Structure 1
């Protein structure tokens, strides 16, 4: 008989979560994991199996309320799987009405915090990832001087520097 320990319970929970992720990916083309906000920061949502199923980077969006995060991620995976290419620092106005989004490459140092469950599918963390960044409805980006107080902390930029790295803020792009 196997003793029930915290480790065996955690192993079983991980196994069940991995099975759910794979079933979602097989049924829908990807899984979306949603993490609610807490005392440490904003809620976020991320994809798992977009890379395994379609060869497109996994994606994360931070700070959007549910169900907007999941809807945005599913739309991204559907479009990317159909062959659409998304360039870092380019504005895309057709995900939400009147609110553009842009993309940035996620630094690997952020993978454990923002893609934790993805390691059940990719144990070595060997997958590309993008962050979809969304401004306020007034088109203020987290790094804008006039952005609402706390917005930069609510939607951190997951690059090495914590700043946009694929464009110059205030320039031609966001």
Structure 2
């Protein structure tokens, strides 16, 4: 794999962070295309657990959430898509969805520096509004579904049925 000096430096940093902390967190700021987001790189390599991506949270909160996920998953805890988890943020549930591979390049691009073939698993950590509305619900604020885009092929939950077997 022939990398530019900038990509080689990033790859070295990702590897160093992965060895030291079990993963690195890459943050991407909000832009004209959409909300800011953050994702892990190295969890798959280090622990064999899915990389995680979270959209629309402030970078500091996204980093804390991803670090908690990787720590717990790396210790053996498994997270079921569609199940609510109330112990990441006080009183605010989160759930998980599998990321469609078609989104990997756009939302997990730096991970390809460690996995050039894209042969890693990824999950999205999804968070409701403070009022408890999920991005796919009609009751969600206007634009929330675009702000926290669901990274499935359909753009809707695919690992569960909303309101039936998941939130």
**Which category of TM-score, normalised to the shorter sequence, fits these structures?**
over 0.9
CA distance, structure 1, for counterparts of residue 166 and residue 157 of structure 2:
11
User: Mapping of 1:1-174 within 5 angstroms?
Assistant: 11-174=4-167
Which sections of structure 2, spanning at least 5 residues, go unmatched?
none
CA distance, structure 1, for counterparts of residue 47 and residue 165 of structure 2:
31
What is the Cα deviation at residue 150 of structure 1?
A: 0.6
Q: TM-score, normalised by structure 2?
A: 0.96
CA distance, structure 2, for counterparts of residue 172 and residue 73 of structure 1:
24
What is the Cα deviation at residue 15 of structure 1?
A: 0.4
Q: String of CA shifts for 1:20-42, please: whole Å, max 9, x gaps.
A: 11111111110000000000000
Are 2:53 and 2:124, in contact at CA under 8 Å, matched by a contact in 1?
Answer: yes
Which sections of structure 1, spanning at least 5 residues, go unmatched?
1-7
Are 2:82 and 2:165, in contact at CA under 8 Å, matched by a contact in 1?
Answer: no
Query: Per the alignment, in what secondary structure is the counterpart of residue 166 of structure 2?
Result: coil
CA distance, structure 1, for counterparts of residue 109 and residue 165 of structure 2:
34
Are 2:43 and 2:70, in contact at CA under 8 Å, matched by a contact in 1?
Answer: yes
Q: TM-score, normalised by structure 1?
A: 0.93
Q: Which has the larger radius of gyration?
A: 1
Aligned residues: CA RMSD: 1.2
CA distance, structure 1, for counterparts of residue 7 and residue 166 of structure 2:
41
Query: Per the alignment, in what secondary structure is the counterpart of residue 158 of structure 2?
Result: coil
What is the Cα deviation at residue 171 of structure 1?
A: 2.2
